[in-house]
Chain A
Amino acid sequence: MTRAASAPEPCPAPAGKRRLSVPAALVAAGALAAAASRVPSVGPAGFEIPPASAAEGPGETAVELPPGAPAAHAPTLAVLPGGDLIVAWFAGSREGARNVSIRMARLSGGRIVAEWESLTRPQLERLVQRRVSKLGNPVLHIAPDGSVQLFVVSVSVGGWAGSSVNHLRSGDGGRTWLSARRLVISPFLNLGTLVRTPPVALDDGSILLPAYHEFVRKWGMTLRIAPGGQVVGVSRIRGETGLLQPAVAPIDRTRAVALLRSASSARPRVFRSVTGDAGATWVPASATEIPNADNSVALVRLADGRLLAAANPSETTANTLALIVSDDGEGSWRTARTVESSPRPDDQFRYPALAQSPDGTIHLAYSVNRKAIRVRSLPPSALRADRGTAGP
């Protein structure tokens, strides 16, 4: 295969006058047609808004899930078609360890009916046929056919800035996974895309998945994903640097609000952006009056039309977790219920996730000191108990 070194081969002079090549033109036309066949035919869509409801739901419950490992964090939850709740979180010896797996639990009427290890790192490796060094945030989504889908962050090399997002589909409620696909979002080795909060449904069957970028710079974005799993658009949420983990809730068919965590210690606030075209574009994010010390925020549209957020309303700690309501999604937010409040500044009630059942029950999941996952369920009337502004 080799021979003794010699002088570089001289390149011949360019050929003289060239002529139109019909075969090349035909190949190009065929290739363009083949590529055009994969181009998605999606148009503008609107948010799916469920009919208004004032259902009240049963009383309050609180459940602590068995963490399954010394460290448990980043819960996500979704309501199954029958009304049961499914919760997922990551658990392992510590965040970022190779033994971190995605665990799940199914709750019915405030009781745990099943709890299992749903996805391990080697399982994801086999599903996506790619080396995976660690698993990160999971995000649950229930497809229109009732099947459980999971978006999960994984890293092949390095830290979280090297993340990418995988989309998995289950046929048995999240116990096993039929297929998995890595979403390619960034052209630079697909580095730096993560998810934390659940998608919102669009009326053409596609979803808008909130995501964020963490490689070199941090910013929020939404991914529009077609029913077949194809990414058909990415919209950035511009604003100050360091805005991440957008949580999105629709106001009406075309308008939605995104609340973002800020990694900047100079502006310890929750940031807010809005879209007027169902997520095709977002206005630059600006600070709200809600204090927040670089902690994840959850957001959901309630059946009565109000927006409900869960956040740690403090500029320095995460030892308080509150439910915060806005009637219009605009500037005014008020604390409707303080869920957790500890006198110990080191206590952490972080990474909240929110959902509402068709019977009106509001579900809130969050991690306790990164060691346990707590799930609280409460009726909408419980939000009226603790009025006050969300400001400092």
Chain B
Amino acid sequence: MTASVAFAFLSQGVLAASSLLAVASRIPGLRPVRGTLPAVAAWATLALLPAVVRVEGLPLAAHLRGLLGDPSVVSVVLLALSAVRPAALPAAPPPRAALLLALFAGLLLYLPLATGPLPAGLDLHALGWRGTPVLAVLAMLAALACLRGANRWVIVVSVALLAWGAGLVESDNLLDALVDPGLVLACAVRARRSRPGAAGGGPGARTLEVGC
């Protein structure tokens, strides 16, 4: 098994374990206690299972890859952070709804331009093949984020860049390490819950809990 495949299997495990956690949190009378040692151990076990359990001669993670595709590294890191955040630590401040809405709108434009529903005069996804323009923008955003003390976002994106640079991500397009359709959906859900007056941080809506 190559490092890239192992990373992809682990990503599927994180996605599956976090989805199960979200489903469990919806069951009346139950609410996951995040960040405690047993909870993290249970989550980690769940995350490793898809790589171990075999179905029709293939690891379950290989079936999940076929069904869902590989999530972006950013999504995986956000899900993992959400699951393992120690319960003793306060939750991160919720991202601003305006910021999330802007992110959502940008991503909503990005996917259709690349996949067809919109005429493709401008395909933002194509910028990721050469990487350099995306890296230049990310360098500026990282500098801005560091100046504002938004360290957690810097770390999340840095992990994605490190994984892509190390060849752990199947795609040769840098943007695929940063963005995926699930992240778009998570932005929309989290933006809705971050509106002024909305109940913040409800169960199952913690995928963007990294804060600003």
Interface residues of A (CB under 8 A from B): 1-6, 8-15, 18-21, 23-25, 27-28, 30-40, 122, 125-126, 129-133, 156-157, 181-182, 184, 186-192, 213, 215-217, 219, 230-234, 236, 238
Contact = CB atoms under 8 A, between A and B. Distances in A.
B149 A19 contact: yes
Nearest to B115: A188
Contacts of A131: 58, 62-63, 65-67
Nearest to B128: A187
Contact of A132 (B24, B42, B66, B111): B66
B123 A236 contact: yes
Contacts of A32: 135, 138-139, 142, 161
Contacts of A132: 66
Given A18-B148, A35-B174, A28 B130 contact: no
B181 A30 contact: no
A14 B66 contact: no
A31 B154 CA distance: 10
Interface string B93-116: 110000000000000001100111
A130 B62 contact: yes
Given A35-B161, A131-B67, A11 B117 contact: no
Nearest to A232: B129
B76 to A, nearest CB: 15
A215 B165 CA distance: 29
B162 A31 contact: yes
Contacts of A31: 157-162, 165
Nearest to B131: A39
Contacts of A2: 24, 30-33
Contacts of A25: 142-143, 146, 154
Interface of B: 1, 5, 8-9, 24, 28-33, 38-39, 42, 57-59, 62-63, 65-70, 90-94, 110-111, 114-117, 120, 123, 125-126, 129-132, 135, 138-139, 142-143, 145-151, 154-155, 157-162, 164-167, 170-176, 179-181, 199-203, 212
Given A1-B38, A5-B31, A156-B67, A215 B115 contact: yes
30 contacts: A4-B31, A5-B31, A8-B201, A11-B90, A11-B94, A11-B201, A15-B93, A19-B149, A27-B155, A28-B143, A31-B161, A32-B139, A32-B142, A34-B162, A34-B166, A39-B131, A39-B135, A40-B129, A131-B66, A131-B67, A133-B66, A156-B67, A184-B171, A186-B114, A186-B115, A188-B111, A188-B114, A190-B171, A191-B69, A234-B129
Contacts of B162: 30-31, 34-35
A14 B212 contact: yes
B130 A232 contact: yes
A38 B158 CA distance: 14
A364 B59 CA distance: 41
Contacts of B38: 1
A242 to B, nearest CB: 12
A156 B65 CA distance: 9
B137 to A, nearest CB: 11
A8 B199 contact: yes
A39 B167 CA distance: 11
Contacts of A217: 116-117
B165 A35 contact: yes
Nearest to A10: B200
A32 B160 CA distance: 10
Contacts of B176: 184, 187
B39 A28 contact: no
Contacts of B117: 216-217
Given A30-B158, A129-B65, A156-B66, A4 B29 contact: yes
Contacts of A192: 115-116
A8 B199 CA distance: 8
B33 A3 contact: yes
Contact of A38 (B32, B42, B164): B164
A34 B5 CA distance: 20
B29 A1 contact: no
A30 B139 CA distance: 11
Contacts of B66: 130-133, 156-157
Given A32-B139, A231-B173, A188 B181 contact: yes
Given A11-B92, A187-B111, A37 B31 contact: no
B93 A14 contact: yes
A262 B115 CA distance: 19
A297 to B, nearest CB: 23
The interface centre, meaning the residue of A28, A132, A219 with most chain B CB atoms within 10 A of its CB, is: A28
Contacts of B70: 184
Given A2-B30, A32-B135, A187-B110, A233 B115 contact: no
Nearest to B154: A24
* Closest A-B pairs by Cβ, 3 of them: A18-B149, A131-B66, A34-B165
B151 A187 contact: no
Contact of A232 (B58, B142, B172, B179): B172
Contacts of B39: 1
A233 B129 contact: yes
A229 to B, nearest CB: 9
Given A25-B142, A25-B143, A216-B117, 19 more contacts: A2-B24, A11-B200, A12-B90, A12-B93, A14-B212, A24-B154, A27-B155, A27-B158, A28-B142, A28-B157, A31-B158, A32-B135, A34-B161, A40-B130, A187-B176, A187-B181, A216-B116, A231-B172, A231-B173
